[in-house]
Structure formats: C-alpha cells, structure tokens
Chain A
C-alpha cells in the first residue's frame, strides 16, 4: 500500500465544544482506503458527534478532516462526497422507495433515464426490486434498512457513514444485516465509518476500531489489538463478553519465579516481561486481568501448557449458553468467570480446579489504568 491510501480518511486533532463543554478532545484517527472504521464507546462518549462532524452537520471547534488529502471540514454535507445511513433510516415518508433512492440524483439534475438505471442497479444489489414502488410505511424494518443503504449506495461516494444502523432491528435480523454489510463492504471496497455501541458488531465488521470515552480516544487498533492488547482498563472492560476478569494483586519475586498473589491465592507468571519484573521490585501492586476463555476447567485441559497456573475455587453460578458454559466463582475477593466445556456439567457449590493461562494475562497500572507489558 502506498502512503496516500493508508491515510485515506484523516481525522486530524479534531475538537468540539458545546457551550464550553468538551464533546471531543483532540481526536486523531486515520483510516486506510477501503477500510472499515468502527467508533465505539458508551453513550455520550462523542462517537455520534464525531460522525456528525464527518458528515458536516456539526462544525468543528478546531482540527481538520481530510479525504484523499482534500480538506472537507468546511464543506457543506452535500459537497463532501459522503453518504450516510441513519439510525432511524430517515426515509422520506412521502416518496416511494425508488423516489427515496433517486432523490439525491434528482436534486443534482441527473436525467430521469439515467436515474432509473442507477436505481435499478442498486435495487438489484440489495435485492429490493419488488419494493421500488412502495412507500416506507409499507416496509418492514429490514427492508427499510436496505432502502436506506440503497440511498447511500447509489451515490457511489468516497466514504459511507453508518450511525448505529442495526440498533432498531430485532436480534435475528441484526445478525443477518451485519453479515450483509460485511459482504457489501467486501464487494464495494468503499471506506466506511460506522458508529455502534455493540462490541460484537465492532469486532466482526471493523478493520480498525476506535474506542472513545468522554470525547477522548482510548485506543485505536485492529480488532485483535483491541481485544488481545487493550491499552487500558476501560478498553479491557468495555470490549469482550463476558467482561474481562480483573483483580488487584501483588507481584512478588520468589525462588520459583515471579508470582502474583491476591487474597489467599497466588498465580505463577512464566517468562514475565522486563516491565513486570521491574514493577515487582518498585511498585508491586498491580491490576491483573484475564478473559473467561483463558480460564479452563483442569479436567478439560488435555495438555497443561507451561504458561498455566492452577487455582482451586468454588462454583457460585453456572450459566449454560449452549455451546459453552460460563461459571462464576467466588472465594473471598477472588471472583472469576471461566468458560468451560458443556460436557463437564459443572454444578453450583462444587469445588473446581481452574487453569489460568498466564501467557494471556493482562496487567494494568492500578492508578492510571494504563497497560503494563
């Protein structure tokens, strides 16, 4: 990839203040050409504000937005060569599906014959040909979603903006449409910026995820980065279901190597990084985190890998999900959720030996929450 395509859509030190309150603070994110950027964060984190600024509905207080090297920050929404799919779909209720898809071309004075041809093309891609003569009120949620995408598609823009497009659909349809959006992106190769608060959407769709909180970027990275190397405790807690297990412990150098202890328990760290050894000497209190899938029932661990450390715990809660069973344990301060195989049939109150895969452990500074590695 050459340099321009790696920085196709550039959000450069963007800030936004509403009546003196910072909605966005110095946000910088780059997206490669054909990339799929997902903006995620809790309500009020600024992700929708950022999208509205990309679309041109909100002026920036400072900073710049560039597409293919051209600044668009001062341009009217219609001049930015972007298309948007809204959360409510925002279909014009008085127009037919064809009218909705063709309205943009109509305002730009595209001749009718050409308009109809493009509408048919887009309708074929989205398989909504039979609906073209209907009004939005006569469509189901999924159909409306397709029409809204059709209206964006027909413009053949430089970038698509999606504002929580699936949040109004029922669970089943949401999964289907998610897959369709992914296929569509693969087919068109157009750059997409997508806002959601659903971490599964973020993980499945994105080539790049930006996690926001209080108007600040917490981490930008690939889904793998975000999941496996969260930059701080906020990202670690926000991404992943069930949430990452976290406990504050104490690092200790022993004859058998570095250990992490909390309450009555201690776990062995194999091949600890230099940073952790340094912490053990100077600042031994640390936040330890591990995901549920990295804690396994010892009966099920066919080969106990060298990175594994075992704790005996008591089962407090059993949550079967079909494919896996999640068990919650509690002994004093040590509260962990582990993913175990179904066939082991764990029972509440049972004692269990859990293997912690410490090669997948995460450590964070207790004060700042920043990752230590």
Chain B
C-alpha cells in the first residue's frame, strides 16, 4: 500500500529535480533555508562547544568560540560525579531510571493502542464510536488536572514513588494517542483481508499478529517515536510522582542545574542537557524517515 505511494513520490520528486534550473527565486529559497537551519542549530552548537570547554573559558565570555583547550571532564562529571540534589552521583542512575520507565511504557502503550485500533475498526460493536470518542478526549485533558487524583490512585495501588507507577501514568496518558494512530491506520486497512483470514480459520489474535501487525510498520514507528519523546521528556509527572530511586532524567537535570551549592558549572550543565536529549535524538535519527510517512498514511486515508 504505502510502498507504491512512496515510489510514486520518489519518481515525481526525481522528475522535479531534473527540470530545475538555479533561478534567482530558488537561490533566495536556499539562502533562507540555510539561514533558518543556522538559527535552529545555533543552540545545539552553543551547548556542544561549551560542554567541551573548561569553566574558565566560558567565564571568559565568548559563548560562540570553539574551545581553546578541549576537555571531556564536564561530560564525565555530568555522567558520574556531579552533585544532583544532595548526592554526588552524576546523571547515570537517573538515566537508567528513565530507561526503565520509558521502555515498558512505550511498548505497552503501543501494543494496547494497536489492539484498540484493531477492535475499533475490524471488530465493531455497539457504542464503539463513544468508546473511541472518550479515548480521544483523554488526549486533551491537561496534565495538571489529574495530578492529585492520580497521586491518590497510585497510593491506593501501592505504586506511589515507583517506576511502575510512572509507567502506569504514562501508559494511561499515552493510550489515547496510540489508539488514535492505530485506529486511523487500520480504518484504511482492507476489511476484506480480515474476512479472508476469517474464512481461512484465523481467530482474533492470529488475524492481528499475522495479517495486521506485519503491515503496521510505519504506524508502529510513529507511535514509538511519539510515545518515547513524550515520556522521556516528561517533567511534571516525574517531578510529582517519582521517589528518590525512580527520579527520571529530566528531573535530575533540573536538580543538577539548580543545585545551589558552589559555583555554577555551566560546562557540566551543557553536557548534562545534551545527555538528557540524546536518546530522543537517536530514536529520530534511526527511524525518523518512517515518522512522516506513517503520519501521512494515517492522516490521508483515515
């Protein structure tokens, strides 16, 4: 399905690039694009160059200059020895906390979202529209509203302050989005295929795992990227519900930067911030090209 459409896209873009000359309008376009690229990349550049400088060089004033004496010390400090809150552990244990939270939360919300989408499109039932509407509504509930009820719920479930508790919170919050993604994607999935599989004797889960899932690559990527980015970058839930041994990376980064003792080690802060942003960056680089494709497929056909 999506293969043929991307091929068509590729072909048409090739045709376009063949016929193009370097007209003044086109030059202006490129200049603008380069300017915007610089504008967006500048903060990253500042973070990177300053994370490799000794602190004195930063105090010297020129934020944009390349390091005169390159050093990896800020990185190792941010990773393993910097003062986070009251302890000098570096960001490493919190990085692991985030990993332990984000992986199950992403996997569970994606799998459940896929199952929801499958049921809502291929096993329609009375009132399925209402169920979908309510799930969609959860996408629009502001975080702040649920903080106190959620804290109470986690307490009742005995999950307060644990990584499992955070996984549950993110799972519940992500389910609306992942259901939306998969429902729209599967709405365009031919029902005749499901019927053919039914005649072939396949049941509910076999049709899902053998017929739908193998064709769901693009939308799985969308769901994983979306969920990973949101959960990894979440601060509010982490700050509200995490205990000492479940604090995620984002909260730890804040603690690192706002530690009030001693001098502000900007180079360590920069290194820590890059470390905190790295996983989402990696996910985008690895699977980003499927992201737009998957979103388009869902949007256009849904």
Residues of A within 8 A of B (CB): 55-57, 76-78, 82-84, 86-88, 90, 92-94, 103-104, 107-108, 137, 151
Contacts and interface: CB of A to CB of B under 8 A. Distances in A.
Nearest to B216: A94
Contacts of A57: 195, 198
Interface string B1-28: 1011000000000000000000000000
Kindly state the interface size class of chain B when it binds its partner: 10 to 19
Interface in B166-224: 190, 192-193, 195-202, 206, 210-211, 214-215
Contacts of B197: 92, 103
B201 to A, nearest CB: 4
B199 to A, nearest CB: 5
A90 B3 contact: no
B192 to A, nearest CB: 4
Which of A83, A104, A151 counts the most chain B CB atoms within 10 A?
A104
B201 A108 contact: yes
B204 to A, nearest CB: 12
Interface of B: 1, 3-4, 190, 192-193, 195-202, 206, 210-211, 214-215
B199 A78 contact: yes
Contacts of B210: 92, 103
Contact of A151 (B190, B196, B215): B196
A86 B196 contact: yes
Contacts of A151: 196, 200
Nearest to A89: B192
A92 B193 contact: yes
A92 B195 contact: no
A56 B198 CA distance: 10
Contacts of A76: 198
A93 B192 contact: no
B192 A90 contact: yes
B201 A90 contact: no
B201 A93 contact: no
A103 B206 CA distance: 11
20 contacts: A55-B199, A56-B198, A77-B198, A78-B199, A78-B200, A82-B199, A83-B199, A84-B195, A84-B196, A88-B190, A90-B190, A92-B197, A92-B210, A94-B211, A103-B210, A104-B199, A104-B201, A107-B202, A108-B201, A151-B196
Nearest to A148: B196
A101 to B, nearest CB: 10
B196 A90 contact: yes
A289 B206 CA distance: 56
A86 B195 CA distance: 9
B55 to A, nearest CB: 56
A88 B192 contact: yes
A78 B198 contact: yes
Contacts of A94: 211, 214-215
